[in-house]
Amino acid sequence: MDKLSSLVGRHSFNARIFYNGTFCDANQFTEDGVSGQLHVVRAGPVDFFHDDGTVTRITEPTLLFYPRGASHRLQVHPGHSAELLCAHIVFQDGMSNPLARILPQCLVLPLSEIAGLHSTLDLLFNEAARSEPGREVILDRLCDVLLIQVIRREFDSGRLSVGLLAGLSDRQLSLALAAIHERPHEPWSLQSLAQVACMSRAAFTERFREVMGIPPGEYLTRWRIGVGSRLLRQGMPVKQVSSRAGYTSPSTFTRAFTTMMGASPREWLKQAAS
């Protein structure tokens, strides 16, 4: 069995569809620490409002996945209707499940960009239109398959790594990784991360490199730049981004960002928009 199949199987989840059809109102989803949400927008327009003030506006068929159930509000534009298929996703061991923790807060995938998932989506939509016995169970299972394909797509793209999933499965390394992920703005040092993991500095460094494939400091930098790039895409000024990403000044952040991304934040945003 390949590594991804083994890890996904070991950290299993299941889907339960709670809405399928035409929707012309709004619905609020509150983080409960139990389940995430999957929304497949077959037709819009639909806005997704988040607690940090950002809004994701959907105008084409799109899949949105909130693995940890981050609070969000789904709202159809006044005077319009949308075709939605929505499911709750429950991970084994809840939000402490490594799969739930490894994924970003929200995945937004336009269906036009995920050609490899079209066969599963066609099966899902065709079954959703039927009214035969066993329909709900089949829909739930198809959602499970769809999510595994989405997770595989994220691994294949390089945005996720088997090493990270293995690290989050490690009882001690997971403590340090969670601290980095949840509080990248803190002034982490090798010593302070080792203390979080309840290990000596030498043992922590050796195990981190062995499991993750890179040194702790390099991982911390990569994570912080990843946080910074997401905030830049949301329109946050470099000064605020640098603080949120754990840098002492905008110039320090810009140097680190340029070294890793090959372009300054401003140049990178221009390239991303073109």
CATH number at residue 243: 1.10.10.60
* Selection from 38, 37, 45, 128 nearest residue 80 by Cα: 45
Position 200 pLDDT exceeds 90: yes
- CA dist list (Å): 183 to 142, 176, 177: 35, 10, 10
Position 98 pLDDT exceeds 70: no
Give the count of alpha carbons within 13 A of 73, CB side only.
12
Q: How far is it, in rounded angstroms, from Cα 50 to Cα 226?
A: 19
Residues 144 and 109 both lie in one domain: yes
Residues 255 and 187 both lie in one domain: yes
- 176 found inside a domain: yes
Residues 66 and 142 both lie in one domain: yes
Q: pLDDT above 70 covers what percent of the chain?
A: 90
Residues 259 and 238 both lie in one domain: yes
- 153 found inside a domain: yes
Residues 223 and 121 both lie in one domain: no
Residues 129 and 30 both lie in one domain: yes
Number of domains observed in the structure of the chain:
2
Greater confidence (270 vs 82) lies with 82
Q: Which pLDDT value is given to residue 215?
A: 92
Greater confidence (192 vs 118) lies with 192
- 66 found inside a domain: yes
Range of the domain at 207: 170-273
Strand, coil or helix: what is 192? helix
Residues 115 and 71 both lie in one domain: yes
Q: Which pLDDT value is given to residue 164?
A: 73
pLDDT in tens, 218-243: 989 988 988 888 788 778 899 999 99
Mean pLDDT of 174-178: 87
Mean pLDDT of 13-29: 87
Q: Residue 8 sits in a domain of what CATH number? A: 2.60.120.10
Mean pLDDT of the chain: 85
Position 186 pLDDT exceeds 90: yes
Residues 65 and 179 both lie in one domain: no
Greater confidence (128 vs 38) lies with 38
Q: Which of 157, 180, 197 is the last residue of a domain?
A: 157
* Selection from 77, 90, 75, 100 nearest residue 181 by Cα: 100
Q: Which pLDDT value is given to residue 106?
A: 87
Position 4 pLDDT exceeds 70: no
- 165 found inside a domain: no
- pTM score: 0.62
Mean pLDDT of 17-24: 87
Q: Which pLDDT value is given to residue 191?
A: 95
Mean pLDDT of 205-229: 89
Tell me how far apart the 2 most distant CA atoms of the chain are, in Å.
62
Residues 84 and 12 both lie in one domain: yes
Position 182 pLDDT exceeds 90: no
- 163 found inside a domain: no
* Selection from 68, 57, 65 nearest residue 30 by Cα: 68
